[in-house]
DNA sequence: TCCATATTTCAACGATTATCGAAATGTTGG
DNA sequence: CCAACATTTCGATAATCGTTGAAATATGGA
């Protein structure tokens, strides 16, 4: 991960409401949840929420997809893991002294067997 | 770790120069290094550096101790690990799916055997 | 004590940030 | 097409941030 992206990602997480948004999406899992549901859960104005989603998206921490009238936001676990790895990679004088944490959400079955 | 501290720590790391400072201290190890050495290594004005050190210290990410005329700053690995743990703890719907990364700097020998 | 070194404090400044209100955009169903 | 819904865009505002220059504070040595 480039340092510039790391700073952007850290800045994206370094705000009360955005940290709440991100953690909510992390808990929601890879399927994500609609912007409106996030707005209701955290009691945030929709335009304010858009502002925060933009920050998270620019940092690569969430993705957005349209589904009907809603826009579904989902956490990007890979990016979160990359950030954690970046923070710990130079730990202990450059010697890797512990594996970086990694979070792989339960794999969605490709096809539900009949 | 409390959310408030997590936000403070993330904000402390979410800035170019401070991220450089912190990583330099992480590489320097638990002994730390004098403010002046950091200033020279990163080409930062001493008063600017004091500002950044304050942020990192408030976040619990570094500690300071006086040694002669110098003030030695050192990374707080425990706090860094706590932050990483906080970021990953609610991963995967609350189910802990991976151990948080942890960085324990090599233990300093209590006494060099003669 | 006086001087040089190392770092911090203070006041100021332009830049960025988070939030708000109002209006615009895209989507679905009647 | 029109109305209701879901979300975004735009303009404005107060608050915070990062840097600078000048002055202050501590420490150690001559």
The pLDDT tens digits of the residues spanning B82-106 come to 998 888 776 766 665 665 667 777 6
CATH class of this structure's domain A3-94: mainly alpha
pLDDT in tens, A86-104: 887 767 665 656 656 677 7
Which structure tokens are listed for B98? Answer: 């991976």
pTM attached to this predicted model? 0.89
Mean pLDDT is lowest, of A5-9, A42-46, A109-113, for A109-113
User: How close A35 comes to chain B (CA, Å)?
Assistant: 18
Centre a 10 Å sphere on the Cβ of residue A96 and count the other Cβ atoms it contains.
12
Report the range of poorest mean pLDDT among A82-86, B16-20, B102-106: B102-106
Å separating the CA of residue B5 from the C1' of nucleotide D13: 28
pLDDT of residue B104: 73
Torsion region of B28: left, alpha or beta (phi above 0 gives left; psi -120 to 50 gives alpha): alpha
Query: What is the number of helices (H) and of strands (E) in chain A?
Result: 5, 3
**Nucleic strand C under 7 Å from the C-beta of A69:** yes
Positive or negative, the Cα torsion across A45, A48, A54, A60? negative
Say whether the CB atom of A11 is under 7 angstroms from strand C.
yes
In angstroms, the separation between the Cα of residue B72 and the nearest Cα of chain A is: 17
Tally the residues of chain A. Answer: 114
Q: Where are the domains of chain A?
A: 3-94
Contacts of A48 (CB under 8 A, 6+ apart): A17
């Amino acid at each position: 991960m480039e340092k510039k992206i790391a700073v952007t990602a850290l800045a994206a997480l370094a705000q009360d409401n955005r940290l709440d948004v991100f953690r909510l999406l992390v808990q929601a899992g890879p399927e994500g949840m609609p912007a409106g549901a996030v707005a209701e859960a955290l009691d945030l104005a929709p335009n304010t929420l858009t502002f925060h989603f933009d920050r998270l998206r620019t940092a690569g921490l969430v993705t957005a997809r349209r589904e009907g009238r809603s826009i579904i936001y989902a956490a990007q676990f890979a990016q979160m893991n990359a950030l954690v790895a970046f923070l710990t990679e130079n730990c202990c004088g450059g010697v890797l002294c512990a594996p970086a944490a990694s979070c792989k959400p339960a794999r969605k079955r490709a096809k539900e067997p009949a």
